[in-house]
């Protein structure tokens, strides 16, 4: 009997290993690839539980107003002139940010970005990394752990800073520089199947705990940059920012199958990006302009309004009937990308207009909404 115990243990280990996927470098995005992605900024009824072997993660309830094409091109084809090496690749992210990577055939390292700032202040800027920061290295295997560190910085002219950010500074400078020490602790903590709205994948799950520590420098006239971090009245600056996310990889797709950015409870996601194989929703390319989109449309009970590329401000969302009378109105403090849900079950069936305006009364967009009754 004692001789059988090692044999049984070996067999159990072998059976366990048979189901475990090993993600190879074949999934690395390459120049010429196009990835179809969608995002759910209000993922309801989704809980990401369970680590370990042979798990089943269900994200079938995810919804998105549209599908976006994420194109992989050479760096020189970016919208802006950048100092990033031409040997890198450019990925137009789903949120409109252009990310510049170095691809060595086994890993993908981030060189910098162009677009919305990484602090979500609401300004357009170029972010530079002191050294290329590795975002993924293949092959990926269950149980693997890694710690990654990087430093990035970006500058903002004082006239581009939102007033609420400017007021946190002890003095008014000519320009501001933000520096960030970024630490990521990664572990491949599970494998199994991931169910998305239009497909199911065999995946590895990577858990990422990210820490960000910011420093703030200012420049006045011809004086050198001065570190004023201690005098900045902003919790994001004074406190370490810690976030958790889950990244799902499969040999069946290019890049990641899905990324879930978690709420503080560590169970429910705040936002999910995911791969689309059957783009039944509207195809769209991010143009970086502020916009609003309602879905489902036509609607019966609930409507999701998806806002994109918004500068930090208080916005007013209004729904008008065909006579131009406001029948519903809500105010929201918005910044960047956000989704809110309204109950329109009390509205009569018919044609309506929905409109979003900022604090100054400037209209961002106006579109048509159809309400139907079964």
Task: Please choose, from the candidates 356, 45, 54, the residue with its C-alpha nearest in 3D space to the C-alpha of residue 366.
Answer: 356
Per-residue pLDDT, averaged over 27-41, amounts to 89
Express each pLDDT in 238-268 by its tens digit: 999 999 999 999 999 988 999 999 998 889 9
Per-residue pLDDT, averaged over 135-140, amounts to 96
Q: Is residue 260 part of a domain?
A: yes
Q: Which residue has the higher pLDDT, 196 or 74?
A: 196
Question: CA angle, 161 as apex, 132 and 101 as ends, to 5°?
Answer: 15
Beta-carbon neighbour count of residue 277 at 10 Å?
12
Per-residue pLDDT, averaged over 169-187, amounts to 96
Q: Is residue 5 part of a domain?
A: no
Q: Which domain holds residue 93?
A: 26-283
Do 321 and 267 lie in one domain? The reply is no
- pLDDT on residue 124: 87
pLDDT for residue 127 is more than 60: yes
Do 263 and 324 lie in one domain? The reply is no
Q: How confident is the model at residue 9 (pLDDT cuts 50, 70, 90)?
A: very low
Who's near 31: CB < 8 A, 6+ residues apart? 72, 73, 74, 89
Do 347 and 240 lie in one domain? The reply is no
Work out how many domains the chain is built from and give that number.
Answer: 2
- pLDDT on residue 278: 74
Do 233 and 360 lie in one domain? The reply is no
Q: Is residue 20 part of a domain?
A: no
Least confident of 151-165, 274-288, 346-360: 274-288
Do 72 and 131 lie in one domain? The reply is yes
Q: Are 82 and 100 in contact (CB under 8 A)?
A: yes
CA distances from 158 to 155, 213, 235 (A): 9, 22, 20
Per-residue pLDDT, averaged over 173-202, amounts to 96
Do 303 and 254 lie in one domain? The reply is no
- Average pLDDT across the chain, whole number: 88
Least confident of 69-73, 106-110, 342-346: 69-73
Q: Is residue 12 part of a domain?
A: no
Q: Is residue 14 part of a domain?
A: no
Q: Are 143 and 184 in contact (CB under 8 A)?
A: no
pLDDT for residue 273 is more than 90: yes
Q: Which of 265, 283, 301 is the last residue of a domain?
A: 283
Do 215 and 325 lie in one domain? The reply is no
Which residue in this structure is represented by tokens 């799902």?
248
- pLDDT on residue 11: 36
Q: Which residue has the higher pLDDT, 23 or 1?
A: 23
Query: Is this structure's pTM higher than 0.85?
Result: yes
- pLDDT on residue 285: 57
Q: Is residue 7 part of a domain?
A: no
Least confident of 10-24, 46-60, 208-222: 10-24
- pLDDT on residue 83: 63
Q: Is residue 21 part of a domain?
A: no
Do 247 and 313 lie in one domain? The reply is no
- pLDDT on residue 81: 53
- pLDDT on residue 6: 45
- pLDDT on residue 223: 94
CATH number (domain holding residue 330): 2.60.40.2550
Least confident of 147-151, 285-289, 337-341, 359-363: 285-289
Q: Is residue 197 part of a domain?
A: yes
Do 337 and 278 lie in one domain? The reply is no
Q: How confident is the model at residue 115 (pLDDT cuts 50, 70, 90)?
A: confident
SS3 content of the chain, % helix, strand, coil (to 5): 10, 55, 35
Q: How confident is the model at residue 25 (pLDDT cuts 50, 70, 90)?
A: very high
Per-residue pLDDT, averaged over 15-19, amounts to 51
pLDDT for residue 8 is more than 50: no
Which residue in this structure is represented by tokens 């120049």?
31
């Amino acid at each position: 009997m004692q001789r059988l115990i090692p044999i049984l243990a070996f067999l159990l280990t072998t059976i366990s290993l048979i189901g475990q996927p090993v993600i190879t470098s074949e999934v690395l995005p390459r120049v010429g690839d196009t990835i179809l992605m969608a995002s759910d900024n209000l993922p309801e009824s989704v809980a990401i539980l369970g680590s370990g072997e042979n798990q089943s993660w269900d994200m079938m309830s995810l919804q998105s107003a549209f599908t976006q094409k994420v194109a992989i091109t050479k760096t020189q084809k970016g919208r802006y002139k950048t100092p990033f090496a031409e040997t890198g690749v450019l990925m137009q992210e789903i949120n409109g940010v252009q990310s510049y990577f170095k691809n060595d055939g086994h890993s993908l390292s981030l060189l910098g970005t162009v677009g919305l700032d990484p602090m979500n202040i609401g300004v357009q800027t170029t972010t530079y990394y002191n050294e290329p920061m590795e975002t993924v290295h293949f092959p990926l295997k269950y149980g693997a752990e890694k710690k990654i560190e990087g430093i990035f910085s970006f500058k903002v002219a004082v006239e581009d800073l939102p007033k609420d950010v400017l007021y946190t500074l002890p003095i008014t400078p000519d320009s501001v520089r933000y520096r960030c020490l970024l630490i990521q602790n990664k572990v491949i903590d599970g494998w199994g199947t991931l169910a998305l709205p239009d497909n199911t994948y065999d995946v590895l799950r990577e858990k990422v705990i990210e820490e960000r520590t910011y420093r703030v420098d200012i420049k006045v006239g011809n004086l050198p940059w001065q570190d004023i971090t201690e005098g900045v009245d902003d919790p994001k600056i004074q406190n370490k920012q810690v976030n958790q996310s889950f990244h799902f990889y499969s040999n069946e797709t290019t890049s990641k199958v899905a990324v879930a950015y978690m709420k503080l409870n560590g169970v429910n996601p705040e936002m999910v990006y995911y791969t689309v194989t059957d783009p039944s929703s509207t195809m769209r390319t991010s143009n970086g302009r502020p916009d609003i989109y309602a879905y489902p449309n036509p609607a019966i009970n609930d409507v999701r309004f998806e806002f994109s590329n918004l500068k930090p401000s208080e916005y007013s969302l209004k729904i008008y009937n065909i006579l131009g009378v406001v029948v519903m109105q809500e105010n929201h403090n918005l910044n960047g990308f956000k989704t809110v849900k309204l109950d329109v079950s009390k509205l009569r069936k018919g044609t309506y207009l929905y409109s979003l305006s900022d604090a100054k009364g400037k209209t961002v967009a106006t579109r048509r909404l159809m309400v139907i009754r079964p």
